Structure 1
Amino acid sequence: MLELASGNDAALDMIIIRYHKPLFGYLYRLTLDEKVAEDLVQETFVAIYQQGQQGIVPQRFKPWLYKIATNACKDYWKKASFRKESLQAPPREQTSQVANLIERQVERQWMIDALNQLPIMYRTVLYLRFYQDLKYSEIASVVDLPINTIKTQVGRGLKKLECILREEDIRAEVGRR
């Protein structure tokens, strides 16, 4: 960001190379739509570029990046077009070539499906904590909440997730009988 703020536009390329994939993964998990996630990633990088052009350099880049992305996601959800789209079920595409990969993907998809049943705030803090590996203090700055609130939301989110997984496990067990 220092390079970008000093006028080196090529610095944005390095930021994109480093953060595109994890940022896309985070936004995809929140939106469940590849095209929307990619649009939000682009919007995030445009905002970072604009901030850099204004000479803004955050103290801690990663939480700042995720805050911009989270806000872009919130803005997307506020739009009327999202409300119309959300009435339709998101497409589920799962492809893989190797049995081991399929098994891992099924387990991963099972977890993601369970996470997606959580209210958005729990889902957001859990994704930031466990998929993006942010610290509680960084999550607090991303979502503009006190750190103790974040700790509470992570704890409650994990408890709700455990209940969802237990219910699904019971349903699967009953289905096998």
Structure 2
Amino acid sequence: MTEEVLLHGCLHNDPLAQKELYQRYSHKMLSVCYRFAHNREDAEDMLQEGFIKVFSQIHTFRFQGAFEGWIRRIMVHTCINHLKRNKKFNESVDIIHASGVQTREESIPSIVQAKQVIECIRMLPIGYRTVLNLYALEGYSHKEIAAVLDIEESTSRSQYTRARQMLEEILIRKKILQKPHDKVSLLAAFGR
């Protein structure tokens, strides 16, 4: 089924088209949700809530830009709203731990698979993880992050800096990052 036929079917509440759309995009979108979630159950809840929004708002898609990107934006906003609603974004952040990390150029060996890095990102406190995901992986600016999360832009910047530092420490501790001279930009590894 072509994307156009799929969209037309979903606009007319065709259950087969809706099922196809879900099957086509749910795996990728679960990965997006998983990066924000505390656990798999939360990620699955976010995914279901996100797809309800996709189906109820599909009439707003204007065929400008990629449909997958449109779905992804809905998923990201659903995740953020889920975290806010459950007050998980406001959980305390271990600043003492992060402040002890020396500032270094963000890096990972080029041989590291994205899955390993994502698992390390999930070890970050929720505030750090959310800002890192939005900035480094979703491409939001600090100004956009501040608006979405209802925080100051400077808070977004400091959370991102601390997240990078803590992530590097985790990567070193897990022996994923081993050789300082074998560095590759973390942002480049995620396409940003």
Task: Name the TM tier (shorter chain).
Answer: 0.5 to 0.7
In structure 1, the residue matched to 2:50 is: 44
Q: Give, in whole Å, the separation in 1 of the partners of 2:9 and 2:120.
A: 41
1:2–1:57 contact (8 Å) kept in structure 2: no
Matched with 2:136 is 126
The residue aligned with 2:76 is: 70
Residue deviations 1:49-102 (CA, integer Å, cap 9, x gap): 1123xx333423111111111111111111245369x57xxxxxxxxxxxxxxx
Return the match for 2:60 from 56, 59, 67: 56
Change (3 A) 1:125 1:171: closer
SS in structure 1 of the partner of residue 78 of structure 2: helix
Query: Tell me, which stretches of 5 or more residues in structure 2 are unaligned?
Result: 1-6, 93-111, 146-155, 179-192
Instruction: Give the structure 2 partner of residue 165 of structure 1.
Output: 168
Distance 1:38 1:170 in 2: 30
Instruction: Report the alpha carbon displacement of residue 13 of structure 1 after superposing the two structures with TM.
Output: 0.8
The structural deviation recorded for 1:110 is 5.0
Determine which structure has the larger helix proportion and give its number. Answer: 1
C-alpha displacement at 1:47, in angstroms?
Answer: 1.0
Distance 2:135 2:115 in 1: 19
* Inter-partner Cα distance in structure 2 for 1:75 and 1:161: 24
CA distance in 1, matches of 2:89, 2:173: 32
Gaps in structure 1 of 5+ consecutive residues: 88-105, 129-138, 146-152
Q: How does 1:148-159 map to 2 (within 5 A)?
A: none
TM normalised by structure 1 equals: 0.55
Aligned pair partner of 1:22 in 4, 28, 36 = 28
Tell me, yes or no, if the aligned pair for 1:40 and 1:72 is still in contact at 8 Å. yes
Residue 4 in 1 paired to residue 7 in 2? Answer: no
**Count of equivalent residues:** 132
Is this contact kept in 2: 1:115–1:161, CA < 8 A? Answer: no
The answer as to whether partners of 1:114 and 1:165 remain within 8 angstroms in 2 is: no
Query: Between the two proteins, what is the percent identity of the paired residues?
Result: 15
RMSD: 4.0
How far, CA to CA, are the matches of 1:43 and 1:50 in structure 2? Answer: 11
Q: Which one-letter code corresponds to 1:127 in the other structure?
A: L
Residue 43 (structure 1) shift: 0.7
CA distance in structure 1 between the aligned counterparts of 2:144 and 2:18, rounded to whole angstroms: 25
